[in-house]
Chains A and B, each alone.
Chain A
Amino acid sequence: DTGVSQNPRHKITKRGQNVTFRCDPISEHNRLYWYRQTLGQGPEFLTYFQNEAQLEKSRLLSDRFSAERPKGSFSTLEIQRTEQGDSAMYLCASSSSLRAGAKDYGYTFGSGTRLTVV
């Protein structure tokens, strides 16, 4: 297993365009998380899935944002009608809820997708 993979690494888009990011988690992890990180800040929680079910969405996730994990494996995060304020690093992480233990609750992060809206 090569860890958590995110694509693309970088995305530059014009304001008003739609963008979609993909995350491939560690295969045996049943939980998948999306975070957003802006410069000088820590990661902010956006949403998470357990298998294919989206269990929680942050109020940061406006109606322009949607995330899916259709088969409980990879996930996509789509932003519609992008705004300059959406420029950030979007981080995906996975973990397992199936084994009790602090290390397993800790996430494995991907390298992120850096979005720049011009």
Chain B
Amino acid sequence: GEDVEQSLFLSVREGDSSVINCTYTDSSSTYLYWYKQEPGAGLQLLTYIFSNMDMKQDQRLTVLLNKKDKHLSLRIADTQTGDSAIYFCADYNTDKLIFGTGTRLQVFP
């Protein structure tokens, strides 16, 4: 079946940029998403990218897509303590989202 993989942890200093990486196996992906999950909460849609795009910028968020390598990344500029959360990438496949295991981002002062 389709698979989405992420590194488990990322730790950054407040004010620095964070880059969260994701790889996927589905060669027919149309849309790829990034979600944020804070403790005890559901998932919040952050941003998305269409598969024919290489980059999308949305305020502090930049999504890069390398379709050839099936690699997706999320860059958060000027990372704040409020950005501490788990970030999931997800691949839209046959009418449903397939999620990665999540990357826990810890921001320290």
The B contact surface, by secondary structure, is strand
Contact in complex: A42, B96 (CB < 8 Å): no
Inter-chain contacts of B30 with A (CB < 8 A): 102
Contact in complex: B95, A42 (CB < 8 Å): no
Give how many A-B residue pairs fall within 8 Å (CB-CB): 63
Contact in complex: A45, B48 (CB < 8 Å): no
Give the CA-CA distance A88 to B97 in the complex, in Å: 19
Task: Name the distance in Å between B97's Cβ and chain A's nearest Cβ.
Answer: 6
Give the CA-CA distance A41 to B35 in the complex, in Å: 14
Inter-chain contacts of B96 with A (CB < 8 A): 33, 45, 48, 56
Contacting A at CB under 8 A, from B73-109, are 88, 90, 92, 94-102
| Chain A minimum-CB-distance residue to B44 | A109
Inter-chain contacts of B48 with A (CB < 8 A): 102-103, 106
Contact in complex: A107, B97 (CB < 8 Å): yes
Contact in complex: B42, A48 (CB < 8 Å): no
Q: Does A108 contact B (CB under 8 A)?
A: yes
Q: Does A43 contact B (CB under 8 A)?
A: yes
Contacting A at CB under 8 A, from B8-43, are 30-31, 33, 35, 40-43
| Chain A minimum-CB-distance residue to B48 | A102
| Chain B minimum-CB-distance residue to A45 | B96
| Chain A minimum-CB-distance residue to B53 | A102
Contact of B43 among A40, A43, A102, A103 (CB under 8 A): A43
Inter-chain contacts of B97 with A (CB < 8 A): 33, 43, 45, 106-107
Inter-chain contacts of B35 with A (CB < 8 A): 109
Q: Enumerate chain A interface residues (CB-CB to B < 8 A).
A: 4, 31, 33, 35, 40-45, 48, 55-56, 91, 93, 97, 102-103, 105-112
Q: Enumerate chain B interface residues (CB-CB to A < 8 A).
A: 4, 30-31, 33, 35, 40-45, 48-50, 88, 90, 92, 94-102
